[in-house]
Amino acid sequence: MQIINPATEELIAHLDEDNSTQIQTKFEKARQAQKSWAQFTLTDRIEVLRKFYELLAEYKQSLGEILTREMGKPLAQAYNEINGARGRIEFFLENSANYLNPETVWKEPGLEEKIAYESLGVIANISAWNYPYLVGVNVFVPGLIAGNAVLYKPSEFTTLTGLEIGKLLHQAGVPEEVFQVIIGGKEAGETLLSLPLDGYFFTGSYKTGKYIYEKVASKMVPCQLELGGKDPVYVLDSNENIPGIARGIADGAFYNNGQSCCSVERIYVHEKVYEDFVNAFTEEVKSYKIGNPEETGVYVGPLTRKEQISVLENQVQDALDKGAQLLTGGKALDRKGYYFAPTVLVNVNASMLVMREESFGPIIGIQKVSSDEEALALMQDTEYGLTTGVYTQDTARAEKLLAQLDSGSAYWNCCDRVSPRLPWSGRRHSGLGATLSHLGIRAFTKPKGYHLRNS
């Protein structure tokens, strides 16, 4: 496997992929080791993960550099990601005992009823590259705390980061067989699907997620899917600070080069504030510093995957062919590396790919609307259901809209935000099940109901 720096197109590492025999051996070792890991007390497992939390801070600089070199996000954003991952781990450290210790739910003379949360066993964590720390810790931290062994397959675009995560977990005290990194891409993932694992936790595209769900269905084990989105926001006329809102939404669309599952991917703006919004938004996007992600101050680096350039070019051409207007960007940059100019399109409509298919890049369409009803209908016109947001000072209008939107997360005057205290879940093509929050602690367990009569 060749690891290429997307900013320079230079080869930075060469790794051997795991073949199916090696993955089978890793699985057998994990199966054995999981039994004793589950025998650790919950407190001891939490303390091991606390050490991992500390090590992430200690090695933050080198971890950030590795991440930037292999997937291209600006260094400051790589450090932010590690800080964010630590915030999520802190949540798990503080709350896991509360949700995993057995609970007595009924007691009467001669009878006790109790729920215990048992580990699933050996689970697969098949992960994405865009936020390897964030989407990884959502799964392997609560997974390990709950007493599972984890076969962790980082994306082939962030394998070096995956290997660093493995090293630090082992240094923290997770036994080597309990957390094992599987090196490889699609084929390695396929081998995991063929093994008798006790749960599949996937982050990635709808296409692969659907395939995995169908493939493992007959195993009758949990399969959670965190998939893509085409996340809309709507800016209402009842707003005072349109330039401030425009800058915030631009960040939600272009942070991490738009390669976030919850990036803003569609913008609807009420006609009364449309012009002000578009002007401020475009000015902000034009001000972004583009360049080598290792340079200070760079906000837009290269895309991680070369193939995405033609996807974006195709979306731009399709939009222009159907009558859209390009305000800035629209093409790949004429330099080494996988750079695409931040792109703003207006006069867009729902027939255009840029308003229908996940772009996963630095490109956005802004559409004018004349009523809340029109905005609602357009926002709902999608197979995805990850996040939706509205910007307004009018609480009643916000509440009415958010209650009707069919998505796992609802944002009021914010966007592109994840909180460890809230469930992270997608609906329909955006996924199945939830990570984070108390739901994401118990997701890695199976409940046992004890009916205890002592006479």
> Does the annotation mark 283 as catalytic?
no
Is 362 a binding residue for ligand NAD by CB under 6 A? The answer is no
CA 214 to chain centre: 21
**Nearer residue to ligand NAD within complex by CB, 239 or 315:** 315
Residues 97-136 touching ligand NAD, rule: CB under 6 A, are 126-131, 135
Which part of the chain contacts ligand NAD (CB under 6 A), choosing from 26-34, 222-230, 339-347, 371-379?
A: 222-230
Catalytic residue among 70, 156, 177, 226: 226
In terms of residues, how long is the chain? 455
Which part of the chain contacts ligand NAD (CB under 6 A), choosing from 75-83, 108-116, 226-234, 238-246?
A: 226-234
Question: Which residue, judged by CB position, is nearest to ligand NAD in the bound state?
Answer: 189
Is 203 a binding residue for ligand NAD by CB under 6 A? The answer is yes
Give me the amino acid identity at 383.
E
To the nearest whole angstrom, how small is the minimum distance from the Cβ of residue 135 to ligand NAD?
Answer: 5
**Nearer residue to ligand NAD within complex by CB, 204 or 232:** 204
- Going from the C-alpha of 185 to that of each of 21, 135, 158, 305, 360, the distances in angstroms are 15, 17, 10, 14, 20
Report the alpha-carbon distance of residue 419 to residue 411 in Å, rounded. Answer: 12
Is 189 a binding residue for ligand NAD by CB under 6 A? The answer is yes
Residue 8's CB: how many other CB atoms inside 10 A?
15
Is 156 a binding residue for ligand NAD by CB under 6 A? The answer is yes
**Nearer residue to ligand NAD within complex by CB, 265 or 372:** 265
Residues 363-422 touching ligand NAD, rule: CB under 6 A, are 386
Report the alpha-carbon distance of residue 67 to residue 64 in Å, rounded. Answer: 5
Contact 343, 307 (CB under 8 A): no
**Nearer residue to ligand NAD within complex by CB, 124 or 352:** 124
Report the alpha-carbon distance of residue 14 to residue 118 in Å, rounded. Answer: 40
Residues 241-300 touching ligand NAD, rule: CB under 6 A, are 261
Tokens (6 digits) for 296: 């200070």
**Nearer residue to ligand NAD within complex by CB, 173 or 423:** 423
Which part of the chain contacts ligand NAD (CB under 6 A), choosing from 1-9, 55-63, 113-121, 197-205?
A: 197-205
Which residues of this protein are in contact with ligand NAD, per CB under 6 A? Answer: 126-131, 135, 153, 155-156, 185-186, 189-190, 193, 203-205, 208, 211-212, 226-229, 261, 358, 360, 386, 424, 426, 431
Residues noted as catalytic = 226
